[in-house]
């Protein structure tokens, strides 16, 4: 059954008429069309169905498929984020505590981090670690609920070292590094403060180039040290429990 293949074709020409780019990649209509084609073949070979029943079932399948394709095309990112807030990875256990060698701070994660070769911020000498949570149907595999948690700490570039540079200027440099460290657009900035010591920080909301992946970043200035925390995933809202719990577990040691 080839009729569902019209869905990805419509996705290709729709931007010229609607002026809107879809949130999802082109893989979404292709997967939908292939799935509908497979179901249509199944209906065609269904044992014991009359011809009229098969025709009605195929027509209903096509209508549902095209409606789904249109819904996905016109779906707003805010809708997906609202859904993702409540339909997330389930209840995470924050059983692992990360601390640097000098135990200058701590933060809790759902699992053990692994070191990364590159610094989280270009030009900054940060030791970077990542934990990836990937859950799909209760089985650990790469899926729609994949989340990446990053922790990094170290020293900023020489022109940011020392107390002479004010916090506003310091965080402007940090913002530039955050944006340079990903292929995406900055959507929001807000001030935050670390627990204990009132160390200043900023939270940056980034949408990556695919239009679907959000990266929420926090950068703290703790004396001569910089601390970087980030959560990344598809349509991850900044107020989701699995984002807030990570950020709020960050504590600076006195």
Residue 228 dihedral angles phi and psi, to the nearest 5°: -120, 130
Do 180 and 131 fall within a single domain?
A: yes
Any domain includes 225: yes
Do 160 and 243 fall within a single domain?
A: yes
Any domain includes 239: yes
Do 60 and 163 fall within a single domain?
A: no
Residue 249's pLDDT band (cuts 50, 70, 90): very high
Do 95 and 57 fall within a single domain?
A: no
Q: How many residues does the chain have?
A: 254
Do 225 and 111 fall within a single domain?
A: yes
- Using the 3D structure, point to which of 39, 54, 75 is the last residue of a domain: 75
Q: Is 221 exposed, middle or buried (0-12, 13-18, 19+ CB in 10 A)?
A: buried
| Residue range 105-129: mean pLDDT, rounded | 92
Count: domains in the chain = 2
Any domain includes 168: yes
Do 222 and 153 fall within a single domain?
A: yes
Do 42 and 21 fall within a single domain?
A: yes
For tokens 């933060």, the residue is 107
Any domain includes 226: yes
Rounded Cα distance between 63 and 58, Å, is 9
Do 233 and 214 fall within a single domain?
A: yes
Single out the residue of 133, 174, 168 nearest to residue 152, CA to CA.
174
Any domain includes 80: no
Single out the residue of 242, 235, 234, 201 nearest to residue 91, CA to CA.
242
pLDDT at 37: 83
| Residue range 136-162: mean pLDDT, rounded | 70
Residues above pLDDT 90, as percent of the chain: 30
Any domain includes 126: yes
- Using the 3D structure, point to which of 25, 43, 75 is the last residue of a domain: 75
Do 94 and 191 fall within a single domain?
A: yes
Q: Which residues pair with 148 in a beta bridge?
A: 132, 232
Do 24 and 96 fall within a single domain?
A: no
Mean pLDDT over the full length of the chain: 82
CATH code of residue 158? 3.40.1000.10
Domain that holds residue 175: 85-252
Residue 14's pLDDT band (cuts 50, 70, 90): confident
The model's pTM: 0.70
Do 67 and 94 fall within a single domain?
A: no
Residue 142's pLDDT band (cuts 50, 70, 90): very low
| Residue range 164-188: mean pLDDT, rounded | 88
Rounded Cα distance between 55 and 61, Å, is 10
CB atoms within 10 A of CB 5: 14
- Using the 3D structure, point to which of 75, 109, 125 is the last residue of a domain: 75
Any domain includes 34: yes
Any domain includes 154: yes
Do 157 and 103 fall within a single domain?
A: yes
């Amino acid at each position: 059954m080839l009729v569902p293949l019209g869905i990805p074709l419509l996705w290709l020409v729709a931007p010229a008429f609607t002026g809107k780019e879809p949130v999802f990649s082109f893989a979404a209509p292709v997967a939908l069309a292939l799935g509908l084609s497979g179901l249509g073949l199944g209906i065609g070979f269904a044992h014991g169905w009359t011809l009229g029943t098969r025709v009605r079932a195929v027509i209903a399948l096509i209508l549902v498929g095209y409606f789904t394709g249109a819904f996905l095309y016109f779906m707003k990112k805010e809708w997906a984020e609202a859904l993702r807030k409540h339909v997330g990875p389930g209840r995470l256990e924050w059983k692992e505590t990360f601390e640097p060698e000098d135990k200058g701070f701590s933060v809790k994660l759902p699992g053990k981090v692994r070191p990364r070769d590159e610094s989280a911020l270009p030009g900054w000498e940060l030791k970077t670690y990542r934990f990836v949570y990937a859950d799909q149907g209760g089985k650990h595999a790469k899926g729609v609920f994949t989340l990446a948690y990053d922790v990094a700490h170290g020293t900023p570039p020489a022109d940011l070292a020392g107390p002479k540079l004010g916090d506003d200027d310091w965080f402007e440099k940090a913002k530039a590094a955050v944006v340079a460290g990903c292929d995406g657009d900055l959507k929001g900035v807000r001030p935050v403060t670390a627990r204990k010591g009132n160390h200043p920080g900023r939270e940056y909301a980034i949408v990556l180039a695919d239009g679907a992946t959000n990266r929420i970043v926090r950068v703290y200035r703790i004396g001569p040290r910089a601390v970087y925390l980030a959560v990344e995933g598809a349509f991850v809202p900044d107020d989701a429990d699995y984002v807030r719990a990570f950020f709020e577990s960050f504590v600076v040691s006195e």
